[in-house]
Amino acid sequence: MIARLIQRVFGKKSAAAKKSRLQKIPLAQHGLSRERVLPCALKVTDTLQQGGFAAFLVGGAVRDLLLGKAPKDFDVATNATPEQVRALFRRSRIIGRRFRLVHVMCGADTIEVSTFRSNGLVTEDDDDRATDATGRIVRDNVFGSQEDDAERRDFTVNALYYDPTSQEIWDYRGGVADIERKTLRMIGDAATRYREDPVRMLRAARFAAKLEFRIDEATRAPVAELAGLLENVPPSRLFDEMLKLLLSGHALRGVHQLRAEGLHHGMLPLLDTILEQPEGERFITAALHNTDLRVQAGKPVSPAFLFATLLWHELQSDYKARVAAGGKPAPALFEAMDAVLDRQRERLAVPRRLDGMMKEIWSLQARFEQRSGSRPYRLLPHPRFRAGYDFLLLRAQSGEVAQELADWWTIFQDASEETRAAMLLPETQGAPRRRRRHSKKPLVAGAEPAAGT
């Protein structure tokens, strides 16, 4: 018992002393001046420091500013407890249960303020914590020193602390040098850190793609063996992480990175099959490329649309199998949708609130084939027309349907009444047309073996 305690206290100390060597890097060396920080974040660090606390900008913001990129958000780390932070800012609230953070608002901006914490390995009887007496246990969340806080972060480039007052960067793990080398390096033993939290493997793929960094060999190597651990991650967390990757503005590179590392198996098992077919590869590439362009242009991207593209080919093969087994097209399509979404939810949980829109995008596809009579007019006011049409464009881009069909809709939707009337195709089989109850024609064009080829 005592031996274990001694080992824990001294073992940890000596390990930490060996690993982290704090460098305080001055402005003249790193060039990141205070003016580049969001005023709201400066207000937060200034106020905390005036209140007698340590306060730094930390994480992705410091990394991205050093890389000359616009940070997505500004996070602040401090030795003040959430209650102490809360007391300093009128417009603030404590959020989170497991990890309690404070959101401080100024104008439309929100700054996330977190108290320095350790990896959860420090226990109450660990006298390390006595000096940083802000520490108390909140569930498995343990406050710690600034150095502990650096140690529990994932990559060296994510463990940089910027003090806007001194304009120094506090670098415990050589993160600034890794930024210069464009290298993603896990803090500590990579395999251990992946076991602690397998999502870090996905984060490695995401950051490598987003930052165009290489993954350090010792950080990359264990992934091949440990990728299977993603199966133990709650499907909802996988969804959140995958969405971050898809909305990063570098989704195309990110998905290829996932595949290169063998990380997609637990999440989107069919990615392999899709990407091995030239048409599938073209479709996914077009979808992700479009998404990246939209994100980079600051335009909104709909997660439902994205997952509708990622699951489209799986939907079609399920649907084809049902029709081949004698199913009627319309019910077969809806059964296939439910089957695909249910299967997907076991691995990476696409939230149910997206189901409706995904199904609408999918089921609209057959309606784009109908270009005679009043049907095209009835499609135009459909609330999902735009999403369905964008989806159709991707199918045309990948060669799944004729480009002519997509072009027809491009013109038809904005054409004058006269042009529209002239564009309508003649009714094909017999006249006059009645609504047919049971169409023999597959509802999904791709379900016809010869379609689009």
Cα 392 to chain centroid, rounded: 24
Place of tokens 């109908």: 370
Which 8-state DSSP code applies to residue 265? T
Q: Identify the residue among 60, 144, 388, 442 touching Mg ion (CB under 5 A).
A: 60
Kindly state the tokens that stand for 290. Answer: 């479009």
The DSSP result for 5-24, as a single string, is: HHIIIIIHHHHHHHH---EE
CB of 71 vs Mg ion, minimal distance in Å? 8
Contact between 369 and ligand ATP per CB under 6 A: no
CB of 64 vs ligand ATP, minimal distance in Å? 6
Contact between 242 and ligand ATP per CB under 6 A: no
- Contacted by 153, from Mg ion, ligand ATP, none: CB < 5 to 8 Å by type: ligand ATP
Which 8-state DSSP code applies to residue 111? E
The DSSP result for 99-110, as a single string, is: S-EEEEEETTEE
Contact between 266 and Mg ion per CB under 5 A: no
Residue nearest to ligand ATP (CB): 60
Site string for Mg ion, 62-101 (x = CB under 5 A): -----------x----------------------------
The DSSP result for 160-209, as a single string, is: EEEETTTTEEEESSSHHHHHHHTEE-BSS-HHHHHHH-THHHHHHHHHHH
CB of 328 vs ligand ATP, minimal distance in Å? 46
Contact between 198 and Mg ion per CB under 5 A: no
Residues binding Mg ion: what is the number (CB under 5 A)? 2
Q: Which residues, including other chains, have CB under 8 Å from residue 103's CB and lie 6 or more apart?
A: 92, 93, 95, 110, 111, 112, 113
Largest interatomic CA distance in the chain: 92
Whether 154 is a known active-site residue: answer: yes
User: Of 92-100, 175-183, 192-200, 348-356, which part binds ligand ATP (CB under 6 A)?
Assistant: 192-200
Nearest to 311, CA basis, from 232, 207, 391, 205: 391
Name the active-site residue from 64, 128, 154, 318: 154
CB of 160 vs ligand ATP, minimal distance in Å? 9
Kindly state the tokens that stand for 302. Answer: 């709909």
Q: Identify the residue among 100, 200, 320, 395 touching ligand ATP (CB under 6 A).
A: 200
CB of 382 vs ligand ATP, minimal distance in Å? 35
For ligand ATP, the closer CB: 226 or 330: 226
Please report, as ranges, the residues that interact with Mg ion according to CB under 5 A.
60, 73
The residues annotated with a catalytic role in the active site are 73, 75, 154
